[in-house]
Structure 1
């Protein structure tokens, strides 16, 4: 039986160093590996893995971004909000939604929508 074991998004960026700085300083990710020749980096925070990459000859990208968001389930959404609310462009502040999650959202340095939520 085929099993899907994990998902590891690759976020395209026009500025690899700026993106590494955002994820490491604002969200507390750790840079695990970087290859400047490839224009690629791998980051982790606890059980979350992300990759960052410069567009290359295999991709046709007119504009950095996508029509969706990355949703991070966290343990203490209010505490996280207090730590990062002044460090990034905010989409919406903490709110409890009818589906039982308290969440907020912000934009990273590339304009990707990042949502953070804790079950209530």
Structure 2
């Protein structure tokens, strides 16, 4: 059995429009830039304890558009306020609702089509 300590998970997502992605996360979702390359081919964004990195597509993978089979799930203590601020600024996947598994949540798509879910425990 492999034994090690994992200290953090930071997704690195690809974007074909790095400037639009940078603007979406900083202007709409209020992330801040933690680090970036001058040509904007890579950057790291933070919001409280969350970090997401973006890079231009890897030429070895030859992916014509960004793909992710899942979603990024972000927990918050201000779900209603967040919904009110985002519902008219983003493409909605599903609106704010309460779920039987004890979460109040909604989901949006970012400018790349990545699914971002936001939830708060009921």
Fold shared by both chains (TM-score > 0.5): yes
CA distance in 1 between counterparts of 2:110 and 2:84 reads 17
TM-score normalised according to structure 1 size: 0.94
CA distance in 1 between counterparts of 2:109 and 2:93 reads 7
CA distance in 2 between counterparts of 1:65 and 1:26 reads 21
CA distance in 2 between counterparts of 1:9 and 1:38 reads 17
Superposed CA deviations along residues 66-88 of structure 1, whole A, max 9, x for unmatched, are: 11110001111001001111111
Partner residue, 2:15: 13
Partner residue, 1:22: 24
The root-mean-square deviation of aligned C-alpha atoms, in Å, is 1.3
Structure 2 unmatched runs, 5+? none
TM-score normalised according to structure 2 size: 0.92
> Cα distance, 1:37 vs. partner?
4.3
CA distance in 1 between counterparts of 2:58 and 2:39 reads 11
Partner residue, 1:65: 67
Superposed CA deviations along residues 27-64 of structure 1, whole A, max 9, x for unmatched, are: 10001111144710000000000001101334331321
Q: How many equivalent residue pairs? A: 120
Structure 1 unmatched runs, 5+? none
